[in-house]
Amino acid sequence: MKRDNGTWGGCTAGFNARTTGGTHNGWGWVLTAGHCVVGKTNDTTVHHNGYNIVNQHGVAGGQYLMESNSYPYDFAFLSYKSGTESVAWLENQAYRNKVLKYCRNGGHDSNADTPCGTQATEATVLINGYYALSQIKAGWIVCATGSASDTANYPESYGSGAGAGYLVGTRCGRVTSTDVGINTDVCARAGDSGGPLFSQIDNTAYGILEGNQQARTDPCYSHEMNNYVPISKIYEVMDNWYSAGYTGGSLFRVITTQNG
């Protein structure tokens, strides 16, 4: 994403979303962290690997932006640049409810008893539902995927501030507590913001990375703490905006079926 000073930085796509009804019936969206886009005045298209994919601000209902940056309401729904990108990156995909799992195990990248899976192996997790914040309990095993990078490891990337030695991928851990959000011991770095928190056990969505509990760089080490914006908190805001007429009469939901 382009910053207003001309530099570029990274965030992570969380979940695919769909609107039903109203002005934007059937539109596809990418859900990510609000702090990735809120406060930026430029409208430069967000790109992935050099391809322009989604708008930096997801507009619905005329002048209203579908974004917020006030924890635990830290989220943004970003619309595709055009129908061409929506078709290529969402509609033509075999599974529209998927998140990527690319496991990073070893050291403090995942708890020893909460392994992600085979190291550096790509897999798809098909999201089939979500847990409300009130349902989530301390001790639950969770996984999170992020795209944080450093040019020391990925020379072709825009360094996100992750630090040398931190590799993109999925890490697993536990929910340590809940308050207005979901607190975890899952390792994350700058650039992972907006990335999905989910269960690889029952394929449910929990939230997206906000990550303001600590600022760390470089490889994962002990006592990691990162928090996540619950899906149910995002729905709380979106449903209020829907009722107030701010969404063009469209209801926003994370896609939870293969053809959603």
Residue ranges of the domains in the chain? 15-93+232-254, 98-229
- pLDDT tens digits for range 55-66: 999 876 666 789
- pLDDT tens digits for range 157-204: 878 899 999 999 999 999 999 999 999 999 999 999 999 999 999 999
Q: What is the pLDDT averaged over residues 222-243?
A: 96
**Res 62: pLDDT:** 63
Q: Would the pLDDT of 45 be above 70?
A: yes
Average pLDDT along the chain: 93
Better pLDDT: 109 or 139: 139
The DSSP secondary structure of 128-183, one letter per residue, reads -EE--GGG--TT-EEEEEE----TTT-TTSPP-S--TT--SEEEEEEEEEESSSEE
* Distance (Å, whole) CA 119 – CA 130: 26
Report the half-sphere exposure of 77 (CA within 13 A, side-chain side): 25
In the numeric block, which tokens belong to residue 84? Answer: 């061409």
Class of 98-229 in CATH: mainly beta
| Reported pTM | 0.96
Torsion sign (Cα): 60, 191, 176, 173: positive
Q: Would the pLDDT of 224 be above 70?
A: yes
Please answer whether residues 67 and 76 qualify as being in contact, where contact means their C-beta atoms are separated by less than 8 angstroms.
yes
- Note if the bond before 115 is cis, omega within 30 degrees: no
**Res 128: pLDDT:** 98
Torsion sign (Cα): 4, 100, 229, 63: positive
**Res 36: pLDDT:** 93
113 — phi, psi (to 5°)?
-100, 10
